[in-house]
A and B are shown apart, each in its own frame.
Chain A
Amino acid sequence: MSNELLFGLYIFVLAGFLGHYVIEKVPPLLHTPLMAGTNAISGISLVGSLVSAGGGYGKLSMVLGFIAVICATINTVGGFLITDRMLRMFKKKTPARSAKA
């Protein structure tokens, strides 16, 4: 039991450090996609919602889980889509420039 807690804390702390080093390297240019992307990723709480909605835990859990599934799916699906939409816009040299010149 306390082993489980300890193991969880290990993972939490190490993932936090890893996150720090990875995210430090993200340029300010991409800070908005970073927020949208991490949002999509933290929508992984969807897997918890799925178990709650479909694990046969009773009516209350099912209803709460159902709403949670909707919320979390909005975040994962919407998050990855909008991150992609934003990232698609970042271009180095645009053809539009030569069109006008």
Chain B
Amino acid sequence: MSASFPYLIASVCFILALQGLSSPTHARRGNLVGAAGMLIAVVGTLLYAHILTFLWIGIGLMIGSAIGAAMSIWIPMTKMPERIALSHCFGGLAAALVGVSEYHHRLGQGTLDQFTMGALGLEVFLGFLTFTGSLMAFGKLQGIISGAPLTYKGQNATNITMFFAALVLLVLLVLDPSRGFLFYLMGALGLAVGVLAVLPIGGADMPVVISLLNSYAGLASAATGFALGNYVLIIAGALDGTSGFLLSMKMSKAMNRSFANVLFGAFGAQPDTSAGGGGPAANYNLATVEDAVGVLTAAQTVIVVPGYGMAVSQAQHAVRELAQSLEANGATVKYAIHPVAGRMPGHMNVLLAEANVPYDQLYDLDDINDEFARTDVALVVGANDVVNPAAKTNPGSPIYGMPVFNVDQCHAVIVLKRSVATGFAGIENDLFVQPNTMMVLGDAKKTLREFIAGVKEEAA
């Protein structure tokens, strides 16, 4: 018996796990099946793969399990994008290190053929690229590195040159695998490309970047599978690679931007905190909490539009509490979730689920966009570009063509915004100067708490 049979079972389990994710009711069971598959694969490897020394493996498994469990149990849901970026980082590093190890072993044994060399080269390049790229993404999400796009002259040319250099190195290595120097150069190039490719990308484009790194981590795994002749690695890597690729396509589409544009066309400054310049705020229709509460209590239908600002101020629980008070008042509350709201695919859904918002109240762009015209109040919590009507009306706008919510068609709009600064594209938002828009500036969570108190008072 070899480890192949457990690997086959594991592969089937992984596919079932992904299939389970097609519905929230089966997803948890699917995840368990996937975990069981992983266990079977690991046990199969330990039993049948000619493992000689178990001591360090045991220690490694224990350390990894402890860190992995700690990272999963205690990390707050608002930090999920950072958590995912870190795990891509680990995945890339693991693949790259196995690649280096395998290169040495095979070279020493004289069993390094050209095909294996090609796979190892790809593995190490993609692995190291994912490693540093994800570290950069993590740094940007965490605020260690500025979230603003960092650009310099000729950066696209540099990136493309490095990419082709890696390709040339790969060909040279396949022709003569014994050139160890080139192999390490390839790894170093992967590290450099990871840094330089992610640094120029702005924080608001993170959903695309994270998905893409997800895809690279998968492809690195698949390359490991080719190098080791291990089919479960190829299958799992292909699944992960496709998933990440599909997600990044969806995210790009939701911003009406091509892949290339996201990767090479960093534009504008970052939204959030600082700045705040005087200009547009002059025209804002600033409102007090009392005004907003009056509008909210009179509303029969309310649609909440959350954005990254909700995550920043951790306002998801306050949003749910306000929704409950409004519902107790007899109103219907729905949530409109834009595909690129937040910093990763599905970011808003997870936060609202954490706050106990039933998922049948969460609606996708296409499912709810016609309803705004029939809705009394749209409550925009820390979202900006996804509600900017300029995307529909102003061909000169950088986000023109991006699908946005028809929030401007609501009878009344309440916008919770931290400051008067513009969105990530540095563009004005016409919604904020509409006569039926009420801007309430300040920390979203604090403002929402005041809303809740106000609504309860009016109801009493």
Contact = CB atoms under 8 A, between A and B. Distances in A.
A binds B: yes
Interface of A: 1-2, 4-5, 8, 11-13, 15-16, 18-20, 22-58, 60-62, 64-94, 96-97, 100-101
Given A18-B15, A75-B68, A69 B61 contact: yes
A55 B51 contact: yes
Contact of A87 (B31, B57, B328): B31
A74 B64 contact: yes
**Among the interface residues A47, A57, A60, which one has the most CB atoms of the partner chain B within 10 A?**
A47
Contacts of A35: 84, 210-211, 214, 243-244, 247, 344-346
A28 B75 CA distance: 22
A18 B331 CA distance: 44
A36 B87 CA distance: 8
Given A26-B21, A81-B68, A83-B31, A8 B239 contact: no
Contact of B233 (A36, A45, A85, A94): A45
Contact of B108 (A58, A72, A73): A58
A28 B83 CA distance: 19
B42 interface: yes
A86 B49 CA distance: 34
A55 B230 CA distance: 15
B84 A47 contact: no
A36 B221 contact: no
A32 B345 contact: yes
Contacts of A90: 24, 27, 349, 353, 359
Nearest to A34: B21
A35 B133 CA distance: 17
Interface string B340-384: 000011110110011011111010100000000000000000000
13 contacts: A26-B18, A32-B344, A32-B347, A36-B87, A46-B38, A47-B7, A48-B98, A49-B94, A78-B87, A79-B87, A80-B31, A89-B353, A96-B356
A21 to B, nearest CB: 10
B184 interface: no
B346 A68 contact: no
Contacts of A91: 353, 356, 358-359
B351 to A, nearest CB: 9
Given A90-B24, A91-B358, A19 B42 contact: no
Contacts of B214: 35, 38-39
Given A26-B18, A42-B218, A55 B52 contact: yes
A57 B91 CA distance: 22
Contact of A54 (B51, B356, B362): B51
A71 to B, nearest CB: 4
B68 A37 contact: no
Contacts of A75: 68, 87, 90-91, 94
B32 A84 contact: yes
A19 B18 contact: yes
B185 interface: no
B238 interface: yes
B60 A70 contact: yes
Given A52-B98, A75-B87, A8 B15 contact: no
B125 interface: no
Contacts of B298: none
Nearest to B81: A32
Given A30-B24, A81-B68, A49 B98 contact: yes
A29 B349 contact: yes
B94 A68 contact: yes
Contacts of B65: 73, 77
A58 B104 contact: yes
A54 B346 contact: no
**Among the interface residues B80, B94, B243, which one has the most CB atoms of the partner chain A within 10 A?**
B94
A80 B52 CA distance: 28
B433 to A, nearest CB: 31
Contacts of A33: 21, 27, 31, 346, 350
Interface string B120-147: 0000000000000000000000000000
A39 B84 contact: yes
Given A28-B345, A50-B42, A89-B353, 5 more contacts: A8-B234, A28-B346, A34-B346, A36-B83, A70-B67
Interface in B55-86: 56-57, 59-61, 63-65, 67-69, 71-73, 75, 77, 80, 83-84
A8 B344 CA distance: 32
A78 B131 CA distance: 17
Contacts of B347: 32
Given A2-B115, A50-B51, A43 B91 contact: yes
